[in-house]
Structures are given as C-alpha cells and as structure tokens.
Amino acid sequence: MELVTIRQMQEADSRAVNEIGIPERELMYKAAESLVAVLSEKFELHGSKSLVFCGPGNNGGDGWAAACILYDKGSEVCIVSSQPPVRGGSSDFYAKAAKKKGIQVKENISEKELNKYDFIIDALFGIGLRREIEGVYRNYIELINNSECFVLSADIPSGLHSDEGVPNPVAVKADMTICFGRTKVSVLSEPGFLYAGDVVYSDIGIPESAYDETIFRTTGIDLVKKIYTKRKRTGFKGDYGKILIIAGSPGMTGAASLCAEACFRSGAGLVYNAVPESRKYEYESLVRESISIPVEDGGYEYVSNISAKDISLAAKGKTSVVIGPGLHQNSRSHEIFREIIAKTNIPIIVDARTLNDLADEKDTLKTASGRIILTPHPGEMARLVCTDVSEIQKNRISSAMKLAKEYGAIVLLKGHRTIITDGTTAWLNTTGNPGMATAGSGDVLCGIIAAALSYTSDLLEAAAAGTYIHGLAGDAAADRMGEYGMKSGDIISELPNIIKGITGD
C-alpha cells in the first residue's frame, strides 16, 4: 500500500484544487459521503442519534457536510463546535447548510449527555495541526475518549501530529479512521496506530497526478513474490545462497542455531557458522544442516577480534553475512566487522552485540556504505544516535531515516510497526504481534533476511520482505500457540508454510 506524508497530502490537495481545478467544496462533500457510508455499514442511520465534533478548519468542514448528509438520512444530529469556520470558505458553506436545516449546534456537552448518542464523528483537527491541543479542544478529546460511543475519525484522529503520529499532547482514540485520498503514514506508524483503530481508505477523487513520488509503503505479499520467484528445476544448493553467521557464545549458542535454522527454513541453500575452535563440536550439534568453520579463539571459547582474520577469509564467496546475535560482550566484534568490509564486498546484516560495539565506532559504517543492514531495537537505536529510548519512540521514522542517510545503510528499526528505510524511501511493516517479544526473535529475523538476500541484490527490499515474512510467521505461531505460549522456534516452524502460501512453492 502506498502511503503519504503530511506534506505530500497537503501538496496533493493544493494541486487538485489550484492546478487541476477540482472544487474544494466537492472534495469535502465526497469525504463527508465516505464518513456516512462507513457508518451506514455499522448502524441503521434512520432514527439514529449522531454526534459530530467540528473544528474550525477543513477537517471540521468534512464534519459539517457529514452532519447534513446524516440529517437527510433521518439521523438525529447534534454538532459540537466552539469556533465557527472561516467566513466564505468551503467549511463555512456546509456550516451554513447545517444550520439552515435546523441541525442542533452546541459549544459544550456533558459526558452524561454524550453517551446517549450511537456514534461520534471526530472532525476536530486534520493533518494540518501544528499547535498544542489545550483548552476547550482538549476537553472535547477527553470527553470523546471517555465515552462509550463508537468513534469514527475523519482522515486522522484529532490531536496526532507529525508523520510518527504523536499525540500533541492528547489525541482521539478512535475505533476507526477513514483516510481521504491516501492512507496517512501517521495512522500506521508507531504510536499513531494505537489511536487510529481500524484504518480504511476512501478515494475522494484526487487524481494520481496530484501526488509526489511515493516515499512510504507498507510491506505486503507482492514484495515477497517479487523476491521469491519459482525455483529452477535444475537448481542446486549453491544457487540459493551461501550465508556466513557470526553469532553465539557460551550461554548464548542458541542465537547461532536460531539464525541458521531460520536461514534454511527461508530458502537458503548453504549456511556456515563461524565457531570458536575450542568449542567447535558443541556448535556442530546445534543445526545438523549447517557447516561449521572453526576460527582462532585464543582459548577464550568465544568468537572475538582474535578471530577476525579467519572470519574475513571465511566470508569470501558468501552471499551475505550475519554478525552480532549472542556474541560475547568482550568480543570486540566491530573489529571483525571492519575486517570483513575491508576484505569483501558482500552484504552484512548487523545485529545485537555488534550494533552496540559499533555505537562508539560509527565511522566504520561509512566504509561499508551500501552494503549493510542495521537491525536495532529502540534501545540499540538510542545508543547508536546518542539519545534515549523515549526520544526514539517519539521520532521513529525520522530517526531511522536520518541514521540510514548519514551512513549509507539500510536501517530496520524494530517495533510493532517496524520501519525499514534507506534514508530516502521507507517501508512500514504491519504484520506481527506481542507474542514475538521473546528471546531469539531477532535472531530469527536476521536469518530470514539473510536468506532473502540469496534471491535479490536489493538490500532494502530483502529487509522489508524478510520483516513481513517474520511477522506473518509470528502471527501464525500466535494463532496456533497463543501469544503467551509461543517462542522463537515456533516462528521458525511456521516459515515454510508462510512462504509456500505466498509463492506456491
């Protein structure tokens, strides 16, 4: 699905009206019709009691127009508005029409009275909100959120601002949001999706020519099908990727096995594990199908910078490398990373310990521009950009895009709405569930992405497709096991059926 930023939607609206010549009043009425159409699927409108909160701008105009349509359909309508629209504008036209019909208009409403209505339309503020919500409008939003009514937001829940969908400082918690023209990034990103409820889209007649080139998309099946095409009947294991995994340490050997198994279950042909020479037999028993490459460990029993030369030799000829999951805290894995990028030209997926090791060595990333996928969770991201987790969570999209652009990397910022970006374009993932917040889930994700890189040279698409597959498999595991009972291995178990269900193979 193509998404729009606030700026893109405002520019598209302007082009549609000022350059293409579509009357603003017409677009407003179509938006109002969409609101009423959604409500008609859920309620018998004739004889219903409807409450519409209208703000002073064009979003309020959508509400005034919707009130007129609801009134004509036999609903008992009340409008709550404390500030009239700008005189002579499109919103003013529908406000006058509503008053001419005799629709009741109030400046205030009590919580007790509000709960007598069947549903609420939230048309207070749209995407143009800049100022902080306070005073009467904050009171309106708190009343809406405390009500027992079904709440439908027009275009965006009132109070959200920025493409991250951050409340400013409060926002309507809608049961459903209907986006006009195109779906807004802010209602699918985190935390905006927590306020939007179910999101639907309505084409109100803005032509495609009005929009700039797409920056944001949601991940989906088409992306997976683009990467996972039908296998050649004459194919052999070397055709389907050679992946080197640098992961695990005493007490954390499971990271290496989860990553390797996820690679195989996602279609990899050959998987190699770089293992400490002094413990190679232990690692060889973890995943029977993987190939162990013993590397010098200096007797420490874990992979570290001592192993860098051996690992860089092992990396040659591979399709991709995964480095970081479960590595020892004293591994100095950024030195291994530096050696690999100096001696090879292959894609590297960087996770966990190596992300932390690189936090103080970020200039190293620039030497691998165009070849790395960083997979931080919010805490790791905060360390990479020298801030705190709360700031990352308030600025997830901009933080990820800034880091990606600065270092020429693909950044995959984990979360319920994982963001995958190269700094110019971005994908938002909409699969997955809270049950995936379990040990090893990130190791599995790395393995899936590494396998996807066996089928495409496009790092951004591989990371986005891998994230989508990971989430779908997690959703299937949750359906089978429940969110409380699932573990990372259950995600791996679902991978073959998920990929087969999408590709047919």
pLDDT, one tens digit per residue, over 270-283 is 999 999 999 888 88
Measured between its terminal Cα atoms, the distance across the chain in Å is 25
**For 215-252, where are the alpha helices, taking DSSP H only?**
221-227
Total Cβ atoms within 10 A of residue 455 = 22
| Percent of the chain residues topping a pLDDT of 70 | 100
Look at residue 504 in the predicted model and tell me its pLDDT: 84
Give this prediction's pTM. Answer: 0.93
pLDDT in tens, 386-409: 999 999 999 999 999 999 999 999
- 391, containing H or E segment: helix 389-394
pLDDT in tens, 401-434: 999 999 999 999 999 899 999 999 999 999 999 9
pLDDT in tens, 226-237: 999 888 888 889
Average pLDDT over residues 246-275: 97
Look at residue 283 in the predicted model and tell me its pLDDT: 80
Instruction: List b or e across 427-443, with b for residues whose CB sees 16 or more CB atoms inside 10 angstroms.
Output: bbbbbbeebbebebbbb
Its sign, for the CA torsion 264, 422, 312, 351, is: negative
Average pLDDT over residues 292-305: 95
Average pLDDT over residues 246-256: 95
Average pLDDT over residues 177-181: 97
| Percent of the chain residues topping a pLDDT of 90 | 90
- Return mean pLDDT, the chain: 95
Domains of the chain plus CATH, in order, are 2-212 (3.40.50.10260), 221-503 (3.40.1190.20)
Look at residue 505 in the predicted model and tell me its pLDDT: 77
Look at residue 230 in the predicted model and tell me its pLDDT: 84
DSSP 168-209: SS-----SEEEEESSEEGGGTSTTTHHHH-EEEEE--S--GG
Half-sphere exposure (CA, 13 Å, Cβ side) for 483? Answer: 8
Look at residue 315 in the predicted model and tell me its pLDDT: 97
Look at residue 232 in the predicted model and tell me its pLDDT: 84
Look at residue 495 in the predicted model and tell me its pLDDT: 98
Average pLDDT over residues 99-125: 96
Residue 108 has pLDDT above 90, yes or no: yes
The residue that leads in pLDDT, 360 or 245, is 245
Between CA 94 and CA 100, with CA 97 as vertex, the angle to 5 degrees is: 155
pLDDT in tens, 115-165: 999 999 999 999 988 889 999 999 999 999 999 999 999 999 999 988 999
CA 488/CA 448 separation, integer angstroms: 13
Average pLDDT over residues 293-305: 95
CA 249/CA 266 separation, integer angstroms: 24
